[in-house]
């Protein structure tokens, strides 16, 4: 049931975005739209009514911020150095046990 797709229309800054998504993803999409809405308002408050900045500018800033956060999470979840160390220790133990 969670994989059935349906049409979800999200509204961000007065514009509607129809998306065909899996039912199981609905909560994540709604949360993302709410976060984007809140961040647009934060940028508006920070930069005031600057006529040079459009919603597109805010969306670009939000995308950059999201990607930086994602890269940060990826680097924190990089287990390769630990796997290499554990592999090395296992080899040392194997050599020791073979003696």
Burial profile 11-20: b = 16 or more Cβ within 10 angstroms, e = fewer: ebeeeeeeee
- What are the start-end ranges of the H helices in 1-99? 26-47, 55-76, 80-98
Interval 22-63: pLDDT, tens = 999 999 999 999 999 999 999 999 988 788 998 899 999 999
Tell me the pLDDT band of 1, cut-offs 50, 70 and 90: low
Residues 82, 66: Cα–Cα separation, whole Å: 27
What is the model's pTM? 0.68
């Amino acid at each position: 049931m969670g994989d059935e797709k349906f049409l979800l229309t999200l509204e961000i800054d007065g514009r509607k975005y129809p998306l065909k998504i899996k039912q199981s993803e609905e909560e994540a999409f709604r949360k993302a739209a709410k976060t984007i809405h809140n961040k647009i308002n934060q940028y508006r408050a920070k930069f005031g009514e600057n006529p040079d900045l459009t919603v597109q500018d805010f969306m670009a800033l939000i995308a950059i911020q999201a990607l930086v956060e994602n890269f940060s999470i990826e680097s924190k979840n990089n287990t390769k150095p630990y796997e290499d160390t554990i592999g090395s220790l296992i080899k040392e133990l194997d050599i020791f046990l073979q003696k």
